Structure 1
Amino acid sequence: MENSPIFFADGADSKMIEAYKKAQETFKYFWREQSWEYRRIIPALTVSCVKVAFSQENPSSEDPIVEHMWINEIDFDGDNVKGYLINEPNELTNIQVGDYVEVPLNEISDWLFATPQKTKKSTGISKLFSSSADPLPKAYGGFTIQKMRSDMSKQERQDHDDAWQMDFGDFNDIEVVYEQKEHPENIVEHPMSKNMTEEFVKFLNEYPGELTHQDEKGLTLLHKETIAGNLSSVEIILEAGADKNIKTNTGKTALDFARQLNWEHLIPVFEK
């Protein structure tokens, strides 16, 4: 990341601070999944939110009041994370539920998304004893949640997961991309990026102006696909003749974002 992580002095132990750091380093995978979710006709995520550290001055102490709360309807421009607060603050008075939030990436403390799990079909005698209930949605990310789960007893973890109605899995083995164990290649590239190549080529042929269009922040399609880590899309855009040197309003090229977010598979594409 471009900026060093910020960790508020809120009494967090070293393992919780490490959880904040992991969340910031891996946020790019959350955003990649969320960016594809916005393109789906049928939603695939049951939960999608980001935890942010909010603070204000404490009149009775030198240390600020700090609360880590969740936002949803996430957007990301490569530098700042945006969304709407979904928690009721306990002590803070400078923010409330529903407020629009925009913070630098280095001020998030966690992220979480969840997807439905496939129901395993039972056959023979196992079918007689299998539960008819669908499995709980599988959670990805949730580093601070997993840190807290690691401090719980087995029964406490079960009660916690039942309350969240999510399968958090093993707190020692946190997955960050969909079906990471079944398809390790998903770490490198989202399957939709590869599967949608024909449609994407067709889209650019029909709307060539999208190659040069810049939004209010100066972001082009190339910038946005780079921020989301989509190799196939980036290659198609470049092959279609996009200028890789176009800069945003803050003076950043697509390569700058690839380096900033540490998308290692994209950097060589721009350095050719």
Structure 2
Amino acid sequence: MSEDKIVMFEGASPAMQAAAEQARKTFKYFWRELSWEYRRIIPGLGLAAVKVAFPTGSDGEGPEVEHMWINEIRFDGDTISGVLLNNPQWFDSIAAGDPVTVPLAEIGDWMYTINGKVYGGYSIDVMRSDMSKTERDEHDQAWGLDFGKPGEVMIVPAPTQEKQGFLSGLFGKKEAAIIVSTEDLPEHPMSENMAEKMDQGLQDEPSFTRSLDEDGWTLLQRDALAGNLSPVTLLVKHGADVSAVNPKGETALDLARKMGWPRIVAFLEKKLH
């Protein structure tokens, strides 16, 4: 993607402020998708990026902030880290390829693509909604992506079929297709589809439930943060320590509460009482 397609300058209009707020509120679904992308052998996402407003230090000659996208995203529940996708036009303290770290509370947008279809992109939707149809078509053609109808922001792909999965006995029938924000969308398809394989893997190697990654996190903490209920239930089933804390002193339950995953919160609360 060329630089002119990913640099955006926009004012702090009420619509843009609302878009940024909605992006932060739904960021957990972006991170849930990335948590599965990082497990895939064959990548499933075309683009996964977060937008950040960088102060330019302007003396009135240009914009106060420059909005740019970062990818290679990592997240610890509070802070987002990534790599800048393009070179700034209004300041030179950072450049494309530089590492970037910002609090979740300061991001302005997120988006990922699957087969050219865009999910997220709240600020882009605001701009597209203000365009004529011709301008919108030219914009979408420049990106080479399908942004959908203006005014409708997709968060996750709609389920293609109804199926009985690992969690169906616990939580009943799957919810309907999703377009706009909701507090607790259906379980990620991979969370259910990989349950049998994961169950067998943990049965063969239960030590995985107690292992720590390079940052000192357990698998249970990572999946609780990402909202992956099936892995959480299986890890606990095979001996994961629900009371274990990460280097910040947070348990899996703390992380699930922070991100707002009610089904995981309910499950872990039962295990702790």
Q: Which TM-score band applies after superposition, normalised by the shorter structure? A: 0.7 to 0.9
Total equivalences in the alignment: 241
Which residue number in structure 2 is paired with residue 205 of structure 1? 203
Match of 1:184 in 2: 176
Kept after mapping to 2: 8 A contact 1:15/1:147: yes
Q: Shift in Å at residue 56 of structure 1?
A: 4.9
For the residues of structure 1 that align with 2:186 and 2:238, how far apart are their CA atoms?
A: 23
CA distance in 1, matches of 2:236, 2:128: 45
Gaps of 5+ in 1: 1-9, 117-136
Residues 134-189 of structure 1 show CA distances to partners (whole Å, capped at 9, x for unaligned) of xxx11100001001001101110010001111111112121101226977367221
Equivalent-residue separation in structure 1 for 2:25 and 2:160 (angstroms): 20
SS of the aligned residue for 1:49 comes to strand
Higher relative contact order by CA 8 Å / sep ≥ 6: 1 or 2?
Answer: 1
**Deviation for aligned residue 1:219:** 1.3
- Report the counterpart of residue 52 of structure 1 in structure 2: 52
Mapped contact 1:50–1:111 kept (Cα < 8 A) = yes
List aligned pairs for 1:147-226, cutoff 5 A: 147-179=126-158, 184=176, 187-226=185-224
| Residue number in structure 1 paired with 2:7 | none
- Show CA shifts across 1:202-236 (max 9, x none): 22123322211223433110010111111111111
d(CA) in 2 for partners of 1:54, 1:203? 44
Percent identical across equivalent pairs? 47
Aligned-partner Cα distance in 1 for 2:121–2:211: 36
Q: TM-score, normalized by length of structure 1?
A: 0.83
SS at match of 2:263: coil
1:249 aligns with 2:247: yes
Instruction: Please name the residue that 1:21 is paired with.
Output: 21
TM-score (norm 2): 0.82
Q: Is the 8 A contact 1:65 1:92 kept in 2?
A: no
Structure 2: 5+ residue stretches without partners = 1-9, 162-174, 179-184
Indicate how the Cα distance of structure 1 residues 245 and 64 shifts in structure 2: closer, same or farther if over 3 A, else same: farther
The AA in structure 2 aligned to 1:264 is P
RMSD of Structure 2 on Structure 1 (CA): 2.0
